[in-house]
Every structure is written in structure tokens, then in C-alpha cells.
Amino acid sequence: MTGIDYELFAIRYATREARRAAHFIGGDPHDGPMPMDYFMWVARGGGKTFVIDTGFNAEVSAKRQRHFLRCPVESLALLGIDPGAVEDVILTHLHYDHVGNFDRFPNARFHLQERELAYATGRYMRYPGLSHSFEVEDVCGILRLNYAGRVMFYNGDAELAPGLTVHAAGGHSAGLQFVRVRTRRGFVVLASDVTHFYENMAGGRPFTTAFHIGEMLEGFDRLLELAPSESHIVPGHDPLVMKLYPPPSAGLAGVVVRLDVPPSGTAPSRADYR
């Protein structure tokens, strides 16, 4: 194959305890514990580094009672990345846990779906059930970055670099996008919140934070369409990701995993629900 194969990493920066019923619309017949992890992702190749989402900070973590493990931006150093040198940040959407540290990338431009900023500043934000997932200061910050010429907007699918594309899949948030990255094991699809857990997509059961359930279901189809197989799809918040993928080095176990190698076990898949 010609073209760039990217290295692809997930950094786990926070976690929280939760119940299964909290993660599926309509609840779950077998309720029990189902913790949620929080990640930042990095794609590196062809001399370029793309940071994908920017996590939240300690202050917001405390306010929302999350368990903050480490600052995701400071954790970039573990991969030899200086945030001040990062030129491209992809924001899958503007929920607090995906955009929180945007101000820590002073030299980056930010890649976002146009519909997401319209949603986050629009008519529906008067409803706490929808605005709860945003921090208004983050949204204001992105507005300011736009006035500074630092936000690149997309409507639907776009190629940001050879082998690296974004794809709109609203529903969870109106302007959510996911990222497809070419790696040595083929195209890997970083789903972000198109599917929080493997089980959301596998069972066709959308997550509880929802703007448009029909678009969420179509989002599952889009992930499957763009991935060579289900094992090439990486959900946005599933603790299983840390178990299925290896750390880049022994010292980074439990903190960083590499997603450009095949998973070492099986995750819940569509076949389990047929």
C-alpha cells in the first residue's frame, strides 16, 4: 500500500463508577456496575500529529464528580508530544469531556463540524437536559477561537490529511463527528461518542444522552460502513479498550494503549445480539 500509516493511541485520563441502566435508552434488564472511562486520542504520521479531543481539567472533574486520573494534555509528554507544537486538534464534539482543555493548545487550529457550534450556541441550549453536557465557558472559548481564525468547519465528511478523515454522525450531539485513521492494521475508526461502549453499537441500543435517536442509529451503520470489521471500531468511553489493546511500553500500562495493532481479545459484537 502507498500512503501514510499513522500510529494511533488512546490516553485514559479519567473514569467514573456507573450502572448499566445509565448507559442505554430504556435501561438494561441486567442492571449492574458499568464504569465509564474518558479518553484523548492521538494520531501521528507523515510528520504530523493530530490530537483528537482534549478531555476535561481537574476543576471540571471535581465539579462533575468524576475520578480524575491525570491531566490529558500533560500526558501527551508520555508520547513525546509538546502541546505547544501541536498544529491540529480534531474536536469530535463540544461536550465538556471532549473539549475542556482547548486553551492548552496555543498554536493549534481546531477541526469541527459546523453543525456542532450551531447546536451548542442555538435554541436547544435553553433545555438543561441538553445543555448539561456542555460547559458554557468551553463553548465561549471556541467562539473566540473562531473569531481568531482558528476553527476549521466541515459539513459532513472531509479529508484532513492523506488517510485521515472525519465523518459527521450527529444524534448524541447534533454535530458529532468520528475519525477514520489509516494504520498498519488497516483503517481504524475512532467512534468517539457515536458509540460510547461496544454494547451500544452491538445491540443497537443508543446511549442515554441523545439529541436525535434516529441519527444515533444511523451513526452505528456509518461506523460499520467505514470500518474493515467491527474489531476496527474503537468506542469512545469503554473501559474494555484498555484491556484489549497493549501499552506502547511497559511503563505506560494502564495509561496509554496503541490502537494501530489488532485487539488481543473479543468485544461484544453484533453477532452476540442476533
User: Interface residues with Zn ion (CB under 5 A)?
Assistant: 95, 193
Cβ atoms of 202 and 224 within 8 Å: the answer is no
| Angstrom distance (rounded) from CA 175 to CA 99 | 14
Which cell is 226 given? 467505514
Residue 17 CB, nearest approach to Zn ion (Å)? 18
Residue 60 CB, nearest approach to Zn ion (Å)? 14
Residue 111 CB, nearest approach to Zn ion (Å)? 17
Which cell is 127 given? 433545555
Which cell is 248 given? 506502547
| Position closest to Zn ion via CB | 95
> Is the Cβ of residue 193 or residue 260 nearer to Zn ion in the bound state?
193
> Is the Cβ of residue 75 or residue 177 nearer to Zn ion in the bound state?
177
Residue 94 CB, nearest approach to Zn ion (Å)? 9
Sign of CA dihedral 76, 95, 168, 223: positive
DSSP per-residue codes, 71-87: -HHHHGGGGT--GGG--
> Is the Cβ of residue 83 or residue 171 nearer to Zn ion in the bound state?
171
| Angstrom distance (rounded) from CA 144 to CA 164 | 27
> Is the Cβ of residue 193 or residue 238 nearer to Zn ion in the bound state?
193
Residue 38 CB, nearest approach to Zn ion (Å)? 10
> Is the Cβ of residue 95 or residue 222 nearer to Zn ion in the bound state?
95
Phi-psi region of 188 (alpha: psi -120 to 50; beta: other; left: phi over 0): beta
The H or E element that residue 253 is part of is none
| Angstrom distance (rounded) from CA 224 to CA 195 | 11
Residue 172 CB, nearest approach to Zn ion (Å)? 6
Whose CA is closest to 138, among 157, 112, 120?
120
Buried b (16+ CB within 10 A) or exposed e, 93-129: bbbbbbbbbbebbeebbbbbbebbbebbeeeeeeeee
> Is the Cβ of residue 6 or residue 119 nearer to Zn ion in the bound state?
119
Residue 217 CB, nearest approach to Zn ion (Å)? 16
> Is the Cβ of residue 4 or residue 233 nearer to Zn ion in the bound state?
233
The H or E element that residue 145 is part of is helix 136-147
